[in-house]
Structure 1
Amino acid sequence: MKRLLFIFSLFCLPVIGGSAQNVLTLENCLRIGIENNLSLQGKRKAMQKSKYGVSENRVKLLPQINGFANFNDNIDPPVSVTDGSSYGVPYNITRTLQYGANVGLELQMPLYNQTLYTSISIAEIVDEMSRLSYEKAREDLILQISKMYYLGQVTAEQIALIKANITRLEELRDITQAFFDNGMAMEVDLKRVNINLENLKVQYDNAQAMMTQQLNMLKYIMDYPAEKEIGLLPVNTDSIATVALTGLSENLYELQLLQSQVQLAERQKRLISNGYIPSLNLTGNWRFAAYTDEAYHWFHSGPSNHWFRSYGVGLTLRIPIFDGLDKKYKIRKAMIDIEMMKLSQLDIRKNLHTQYLNAVNDLMNNQRNFKKQKDNYLLAEEVYAVTTDRYREGITSMTEVLQDEMRMSEAQNNYISAHYNYRVTNLMLLKLTGQIASLFK
């Protein structure tokens, strides 16, 4: 294992942690991503918007004061007819003056409005849902960055192994070339080595290209400048900590969001029911009015430009009596919505619990596979080294050497795959058990 880490560190220094690169830890990547990711910034804006929505509903409890002013030209002034017996005439006819003007203030303030109070509580739930949506998006981003970081580390590990295999085959080619020059090996043996060597070089180039793509994707997810080079820390396979299996967390953002959705549906049902409750408002006005038969009289002194003041306060009581059964059927629909959400909540909870049980099983299996594949890889490397030594001594054939080399490459690939699966399963359990914050050491 020490030899593996030594080879990996030697290789990763020029490839991953070069002088022109900024070597980032997983925690560095997570913090940069959380701060810069554009999608997460949009979630933060939505969260701010929902807070304004709460304030928007709360200010409706404050007095609403409006100023007004109007001017009216009664081109054909209307008349009013009243009983004129007290004046000795059958009817008393009064003609309205042609011009009239009003200016003043109006006040309105709710004293009791249950619909308004429920609207405020709905806005608060929406605000909480916005916060939970942000936290879930943040957690999803952490998982996405971590998976890509792990994939990059595993690819770098694969590159190091391929590089070591190329070095071994180059040594084997040189030995075979010497044997061939001295008539101790056939030309076909030399060709076999060269074919395997070229295949390894192609694998190396493909792995390098894959590594570049993975780093580019990681920079995109973090919203890191694409022109800047980054590197990843090499992984120490002896220090991978296994997650504590504490059971499915009840504080998962998925579960909290579902609970908030149920609460929102219940508040919306209550909002409809509040339509049956009377409401009481305080009203008030303060105004001035003026009337004249000629508009220019307002600009001269005299009784025709006199402004008459009036003011008062009052109460407005609104009592719902009959709405044609509209609210009745809306309430029934809302009750069905609540029942559907509770069923969905139960289904998702069971689904998450199943995911947890499967992840625990996968963790145990992947952990065993990881250890076995690592042992197999190291053993295959030792066998290949022995076979190579025996080939130098002329005891074994080139066919045996190439067969052991193929088995070693296969063991390495299995090890790389088991390593990544083990770390991803460990990551998923960190999420399901509510321990994702442990990635921020």
Structure 2
Amino acid sequence: MKQLIFIFTVAWGAVVGSRAQEVLTLDDCLRWGIENNLSLRGQRNEIQKSKYAISENRAKLLPQINGVANFNDNFDPPVSVTDGSAYDKPYNVTQTLQYNAAAGLQLQMPLYNQTVYTALSISKVLDEISRLSYEKAREDLMMQIAKMYYLGQATAEQITLVKANIARLEELRDITVAFYDNGMAMEVDVKRVNINLENLQVQYDNAQAMLAQQLNMLKYVMDYPAEKDITLEPVNAETIAPIELTGLSENLYELQLLQSKSDLAERQKKMISHGYIPSLTLTGNWMYTAYTDKLHHWFHSGPSNHWYRSYGLGLALRVPIFDGLDKRYKIRKAKIDLENIRLAQENTRKNLETQYVNATNDLMNNQRNFKKQKDNYLLAEDVYEVTSDRYREGIASMTEVLQDEMRMSEAQNNYISAHYNYRVTHLSLLKLTGRVESLLK
């Protein structure tokens, strides 16, 4: 065991020390990603946007005052006909002057409008949906960063083990070459060792390239400067982080979002129904109006350019009577939307419950596999060391050494995969039990 830890430490130091790199912990990556990820910043903007929408709907309940002005040139002025009995005539015909102008202020304020009230409550639900969408995006980002971080750690661990294997085989090659020079080994034995060395070198180069790609992807997700070199904290493969199986959390953002969407659909249906309710509005105006028969008269003093004032307050009652069954069909559509959301809630809950059961089983299975693969790896390493020593003494053959070396490499890969699978399952259970925030130390 001490030998294994020593190999990990030395090889990791060689990898990290090759260039000046910044060592990032998982906590560092999570916090940087939450602060700088572009998609998450867009979600924060949506939250601010939804708050403005609340203020926008609240403003509809406040008085609306508008300044108005108009000018009319009646090319053929209209006439008005009234009863002329006061003038001993059957009718009195009055012709409107050709030019008229008006300017003033108009007031409008809803005293009772249930549709506006419901629209305000809908904007508040949309604000809650924006907040939950951000929290879910934040949680998904943390899950993505953690998985990529674990994968990068697994690849770095694989590089460490492969480099240690290369060192062993190089030592074995030197011994084999010495044996061959002294007539104690055949040339084919040297070739076999060189072939295995080449395979290990290819495996090492591929792992290095894979790690570089994984780190680049991690930097992209975090929105970390691409020109900066980073490395990850070495994984402690000797311990397995425990997790408390508390059952599926009721506060998962998937469930909260669907519940908020159900509330939204219910309020939208109510808003359609409220379209049948009368509305009452306060109205008011303050106006000045002027009339003249010649446009240039407005530029001279006299009765032709006199402005007549008028003002007042009023109430406007709007009573919906018949809309061609428009709202009736809209309500039916809203009921179908509510039913679809209810089905989505039921399906999502069952899916999450299934994920929790499967993740629990996977956790137990991966924990057993990790312990077994770890024992197999240590055992294969011991067997290789014994066979290597026997080869130096001339007792074991090169074939036996290379076979044991292949078994050891296979056991190492299985050990790394088992550890990674366990950590990913552990991460999934953190999400399903509502404890992803525990990743932030």
Q: Which bin holds the TM-score, normalised by the shorter protein?
A: over 0.9
SS across alignment from 2:226: coil
TM, length-normalised to structure 2: 0.98
Question: One-letter code of the match for 2:113?
Answer: N
Question: In structure 2, what is the equivalent of residue 237 of structure 1?
Answer: 237
- The equivalent of 1:246 in structure 2 is 246
Q: 1:280-338: per-residue Cα shift (whole Å, max 9, x none)?
A: 11100011111111222222222222111111001111111222222122212211210
- Higher alpha-carbon deviation: 131-140 or 297-306: 297-306
Does 2:12 align with 1:12?
Answer: yes
SS where residue 105 of structure 2 aligns?
Answer: strand
SS at match of 2:70: strand
Which residue of structure 1 lines up, in the alignment, with residue 227 of structure 2?
Answer: 227
Distance 1:358 1:310 in 2: 77
Q: Which residue in 1 is equivalent to 2:48?
A: 48
CA contact (8 A) 1:175 1:392 kept: yes
User: In structure 1, what is the equivalent of residue 101 of structure 2?
Assistant: 101
CA distance in 2, matches of 1:153, 1:16: 13
When normalised by structure 1's length, the TM-score is 0.98
How many Å separate the matches in 2 of 1:77 and 1:184? 126
CA contact (8 A) 1:71 1:102 kept: yes
**Cα distance between partner residues in 1 of 2:5 and 2:217:** 26
Partner of 1:76: 76
Gap change, CA 1:308 and 1:17, over 3 Å in 2? farther
Asked if 2 retains the 8 angstrom alpha-carbon contact of 1:17 and 1:231, the reply is: no
Shift, 1:244, TM fit: 1.5
Moved more, 256-265 or 70-79: 70-79
* Other-structure match for 2:122: 122
State the partner residue of 2:431: 431
What amino acid is the match of 2:162?
I
Tell me whether 333-342 or 7-16 shows the greater mean CA deviation: 7-16
- Rounded to whole Å, the distance in 2 between the matches of 1:167 and 1:18 is 17
Cα distance between partner residues in 1 of 2:189 and 2:239:
42
Percentage of identical aligned residues: 76
Q: Distance in 2 between matches of 1:239 and 1:325?
A: 68
Q: For 1:324 and 1:198, locate their aligned partners in 2 and report how far apart those are by CA, in whole Å.
A: 81
The match for 1:288 is: 288
Displacement of 1:228 in angstroms is: 0.8
Q: Is the 8 A contact 1:17 1:232 kept in 2?
A: no
Does structure 2 retain, via aligned residues, the 8 Å contact 1:16–1:232? no
Shift of 1:188: 1.5
Counterpart-to-counterpart distance in 2, 1:280 and 1:17: 77
Q: CA deviation at 1:17?
A: 5.6
RMSD across aligned C-alpha pairs, in angstroms? 1.2
1:61-106 Cα distance to aligned partner (Å, 9 max, x none):
0000000011111122111111112211121111111111111000
Q: Partner amino acid for 1:319?
A: V
Q: Following TM superposition, by how much is the alpha carbon of 1:238 offset from its aligned partner in structure 2, in angstroms? A: 2.3
126-135 or 349-358, larger mean C-alpha shift: 126-135
Q: Is the 8 A contact 1:101 1:289 kept in 2?
A: yes
Q: Is 2:215 the counterpart of 1:188?
A: no
Partner of 2:339: 339
- TM alignment of 1:285-324, pairs within 5 A: 285-324=285-324
Structure 2: state its 5+ residue gaps. none
Shift >6 Å, 4+ stretches: none
Q: Sort the Cα spacing of 1:277 and 1:18 in 2 relative to 1 into closer, same or farther, 3 A.
A: farther
The secondary structure found in structure 1 opposite 2:75 is coil
Task: Please identify, of 24-33 and 234-243, the stretch whose mean Cα deviation from structure 2 is larger.
Answer: 234-243
Report the residue type matching 1:410 in the other structure. Answer: E
Per the alignment, residue 131 of structure 1 pairs with: 131
